[in-house]
A and B are shown apart, each in its own frame.
Chain A
Amino acid sequence: SQTIHQWPATLVQPVGSPLSLECTVEGTSNPNLYWYRQAAGRGLQLLFYSVGIGQISSEVPQNLSASRPQDRQFILSSKKLLLSDSGFYLCAWSVEFEGSPLHFGNGTRLTVT
């Protein structure tokens, strides 16, 4: 069966520090991968998605970037964190055909101080 791993679960970082969040998927090949952010009390906002190695689409302009160095690895990064980057970051995967649901990881709660 397929599993998705995200780490770390929680992170507290000072403003201006770099960020690297990692997500890996097991049990499937060539998945579509996604990064979402959820601000406190808000809905999920799609940040990036990837349909293959090195292929990244950005949904919103922001202080973050994403990379996909391997088929089942998705990384969210920032060179300098802002206070507004605080939130709950979720990685998800799916396969690319109609009717394919998203499957989410357990998320990383980031607090920028």
Chain B
Amino acid sequence: DAKTTQPTSMDCAEGRAANLPCNHSTISGNEYVYWYRQIHSQGPQYIIHGLKNNETNEMASLIITEDRKSSTLILPHATLRDTAVYYCIVGEYGNKLVFGAGTILRVKS
């Protein structure tokens, strides 16, 4: 079973920041937080991951709370092309990563 809890769906206005929350209260010390997204009929796309510190790359920022029990993925300026299912996963690596149902993000003009 997935170790994370995410909202089923969210809406965001185009050009605004999209903040996607994730709860992972049972995360263990050596488990990372990974974020992926899946656009319809495509394979999941890796976005970002982190262990303790906040992370930023060209796609997004990942904010992890100090107790590591929750995190937020931030898409700074959402576009229509960011409409997708976003998966938050905790695990060490590889076969230990379990995908849940994710959050359907709809970016609206």
Of B32, B36, B41, B95, the contact of A98 (CB 8 Å cutoff) = B32
Question: How many of chain A's residues have a CB under 8 angstroms from any CB in B?
Answer: 27
Tally of contact residues, B, Cβ under 8 A: 23
Given known pairs A104-B44, A106-B42, A106-B43, the reply for A99 and B32 (CB within 8 Å) is yes
Against A, the Cβ 8 Å flags (1 = close, 0 = not) of B80-109 are: 000000000000111101111110000000
Query: B51 within 8 Å of A by Cβ?
Result: yes
Given contacts A43-B100, A90-B44, contact A100 B94 (CB under 8 A): yes
| Interface residues of A, dominant DSSP | strand
A43-B101, A44-B99 as given contacts; A98 in contact with B43, CB under 8 Å: no
Chain B residues engaging chain A, CB cutoff 8 angstroms: 2, 30, 32, 34, 36, 41-46, 49, 51, 92-95, 97-102
